[in-house]
Amino acid sequence: MTHKTLLAIDTCTELCSVALQVGEKIYSEAVDAPREHSQRLLPLVEKLVAEAGISLSNLDGIVYGRGPGSFTGIRICTSMAQGLALGQNLPVFGVSTLDSMAQQAADLGAEHIFCAIDARMNEVYWAEYTANDSVIVAVEKEKVSHPENVALPHKNAERFVACGTGIDTYPELLANVNNAHVDVTSKFPTAESMLKLGQSAWAEGKFTPVDDLAPVYVRDEVTWKKLPGRE
């Protein structure tokens, strides 16, 4: 597969993460600075673009973390993606933060994956996946639930891998899961894993004009105030 030149950004959780792919080469950087995403994101983008020796005009598209996660973090990520895409007239593709974590686990050989992000208010954002040759498939649509209401269809599967801040906060999520292994390396979504999903999305024609960019909060009671220019 010919790789497109894609920039991926994510600030939906505690991790501020940026990745850039130029040909086979991937440049990436991440910093755990949950209160500094708005200050850190653009400098990280500029740093990677400079390291790669390209300019933003050389990009084919923008991949962004669409949520779920922190309300403020999602806003920062989608606003930055919108600004970068508008500035260069680039198409965009939003990646689920849960998909990103599942992709990391799948790349390490996981076949059954449970991803959970601490949603505060005694809830978790979660989804279950199967994986074959590192290709992830969501078992059901991502959800937000109280920990005691999380039900995993494949909880008795062998080689079940769990990851995310939701597991740290609510270890009881794994009480009824058979032989679950917690993957600490896939605790947060990353822009680098979003790149891989973005390349597949490009091949499948899933990138859209920036006007279709939209965050995903999962919580029904959260109303998104449209980004500037989209009212």
CATH architecture group of domain 98-186:
2-Layer Sandwich (3.30)
pLDDT for 159 equals 79
* Pair 69, 190: CB distance under 8 Å: no
Query: Looking at residues 77-89, what average pLDDT do you find?
Result: 97
Phi, psi for 61 (deg, rounded to 5): -170, 170
**Residue 106 pLDDT level (bands cut at 50, 70, 90):** very high
Helix (H), strand (E) at residue 52: helix 37-52
Please state, in angstroms and as integers, the Cα–Cα distance from residue 4 to each residue in 60, 92, 100, 200, 206, following that order. Answer: 6, 13, 19, 10, 13
Ramachandran class of 140: left when φ > 0, alpha when ψ lies in -120 to 50, beta otherwise: beta
- This prediction's pTM: 0.93
Ramachandran class of 38: left when φ > 0, alpha when ψ lies in -120 to 50, beta otherwise: alpha
**Residue 229 pLDDT level (bands cut at 50, 70, 90):** very low
**What are the pLDDT digits (tens) for 147-164?**
999 999 988 888 789 999
Is pLDDT above 90 for 50?
yes
pLDDT for 226 equals 43
Q: Does 3.30.420.40 match the CATH number of domain 6-97+189-212?
A: yes
First to last CA, the chain: 38
**Residue 223 pLDDT level (bands cut at 50, 70, 90):** very low
Question: Could you tell me the residue ranges of all domains in the chain?
Answer: 6-97+189-212, 98-186
Tell me which of 198 and 227 has the higher pLDDT. 198
**What are the pLDDT digits (tens) for 114-144?**
999 999 999 999 999 999 999 999 999 999 9
Strands 6-10, 61-67: pairing kind: parallel
Query: Looking at residues 203-218, what average pLDDT do you find?
Result: 95
Judge if 6-97+189-212 and 98-186 fold alike in CATH terms: yes
* Pair 83, 58: CB distance under 8 Å: no
**What are the pLDDT digits (tens) for 163-180?**
999 999 999 999 988 888
pLDDT for 220 equals 61
Strands 25-32, 15-22: pairing kind: antiparallel
